[in-house]
Chain A
Amino acid sequence: MSARFLPAGDSAIAVEFGREIDLNINNQVAAMRTVIEAAIDEGKLKGIVELVPTYGSLLVVYDQLAVGYAGLIEQLKILAEGLEGVEISDREVVEIPVVYGGEYGPDLGIVAQLNSLSEDEVIKRHSEAEYPIYMLGFVAGFPYLGGMDKSIAAPRKQTPRLKIPAGSVGIAGQQTGIYSVESPGGWQIIGRTPLKLYDADREKPILLRAGQSIRFKPITEAEYEAMTE
């Protein structure tokens, strides 16, 4: 798979590995980000402002006063060529504790009913799968996840809720996701995690990272309360 190097104006280059949602392509994006970060740490690559990984491409934002366009592309090409034939290692799995149902997951019953399953079976199927984080976006800390079992899919609510608490775990169509900040939204809410995906006051404000995978772990309300104290 060869990468394309496309200008995104005078201060960024989009390194494109593919234009579809595909785990192999996304693994290439994650690997490219890792090798660029390593090159920066080793002092071999200068002038990089930040890297924005998405489904199929990595946006490399650079300081045009510190590094030239043509020279940077050459350096990025060498790094991309080094990725070819490299086995992409397994994704790091982050465990997300979730209390399912009840006041924390008011739509669990709806999702169960729509799929003719018991609530426990929805919880089992939702918490068994491993969900690759393709990218973060939309709002701070929000992960775009793949890998949900189609047998627990559910359409968005007809009328979106005005306020969904941060940490809410929901289903929309064939996707599952976690609200990283309080916001309005139409997802079917099946549970809530006590973890803060975004906390401006924390040393590391954002919990998750593109390239990881997550797994949901069912917990009790008592465990939830204990973790939020």
Chain B
Amino acid sequence: MKIKVINGGMLTTVQDKGRYGFQASGVQVSGVMDWQAAYAANLLVGNDYGSAVLECTCMGPELEFHEDCLVAAAGGEPKLTLDGKPAEAYSAIRVKAGQVLKLSSMSQGMRGYIAVAGGIDVPEVMGSCSTNLKLGAGGLDGRRLGAGDVLSTGEPGTDAKEMLSGLKPCRRLQRTHAHEDMRIIRVVLGPQDDYFTSGAIEIFLSRAYEITADSDRMGYRLAGEKLERQIDGDMVSDGIVFGSVQVPPGGEPIIMMSDHQTTGGYPKVATVITADLPELAQSGPGTKVSFRAVSVEEAQAAYQEKLGQLEAAREVFENSRPASAAAGAALSGYGIKHYNVKVAGQQFEVSLQPVITRK
């Protein structure tokens, strides 16, 4: 199936979970900024978690579909239209051949994700479909999408075909997430927190920092109280991860995001936990964030809880049978509205009422 790009939007690239295994050679990981939204979009159209999606920033693309297909958008509450009529995010959408889907803007965040049943089909480079703009590799010829580009998609799964033919209702997820004015971002201290005075650590974990306009897929520069060091001088470069909070001599932190360089020579006071990267990815310039320290174990539990909600939703969608009690509880955090249940060959649509809300 082919998709023609009518307008590429502000910055739309093909991304997947990232290019791991080549950081030792200086190749950045890249990959989606908001793993949770990318997973949700893929889940809605029956794709694997890691399938390649389109990630767009602020203003999304306008896409013309050459055949009937199933599409879903997720992220910072993207506003969608299909042939000019409003369409729903966080829901699988049946698109007919010739129709135009437009993701005009984000109402509550920075980034939107568009998944197409079968995934965006681009050649793998070093094991990944992610676009690395700096290297000009991966994705669509290593660059952002522009008008006139044509994308191919893979073979949709059985569920996607059944949703498209109307045999099954379209999958929907409902987010209960409301953004606060002050966003709490959890971190694990280290690996070089010992470079800073205890006063600086206290400041880092209590004051508000503002995301500046100098923020993109590579990193977010923050403005706020400066962090004083007790070990002066440069350190030698070492490895960086998505979420590393490095502090240049000026004292204002920079959070490394998905296009981060593989190594860096500034001490890293802390690392944002995987569970809170989506919140950060959807936070734009001007947003105030405040950091809280957690243990590695707490960070992992938080990630596994968020992942568990999506895994539980997948289980329900795929099996089309009543969820287990545990899956049901996990699902409620995500506010699943409808799902399909087959009892003795007969289809039922079931609604789930959220009983637990996320933080």
Contacts and interface: CB of A to CB of B under 8 A. Distances in A.
Given A10-B299, A200-B125, A137 B188 contact: no
Given A7-B296, A10-B274, 7 more contacts: A9-B299, A10-B188, A10-B300, A50-B20, A52-B24, A139-B135, A144-B237
Contact of A54 (B189, B236, B243, B274): B236
B314 interface: no
A137 B190 contact: no
B261 interface: yes
A69 interface: yes
Contacts of A205: 22, 25, 27, 126
B303 A52 contact: no
Contacts of B297: 69-70
Contacts of B241: 8-9, 11-12, 59, 61
B296 A180 contact: no
A132 interface: no
B40 interface: no
Contact of A50 (B24, B26, B191): B24
A21 B304 CA distance: 38
A55 B303 contact: no
Given A16-B191, A137-B262, A138-B261, A64 B300 contact: yes
Interface in A187-211: 198, 200, 205-206, 209-210
A140 B27 contact: yes
Contacts of A200: 125-126, 137
Interface of B: 20-27, 125-126, 134-135, 137, 187-192, 235-239, 241, 243-244, 261-263, 268, 271-274, 296-297, 299-300, 303-304, 307
B19 to A, nearest CB: 10
B72 to A, nearest CB: 24
B24 A210 contact: yes
Given A64-B303, A69-B297, A137-B263, A206 B236 contact: no
Given A6-B190, A9-B271, A64-B303, A135 B237 contact: yes
A12 B239 contact: yes
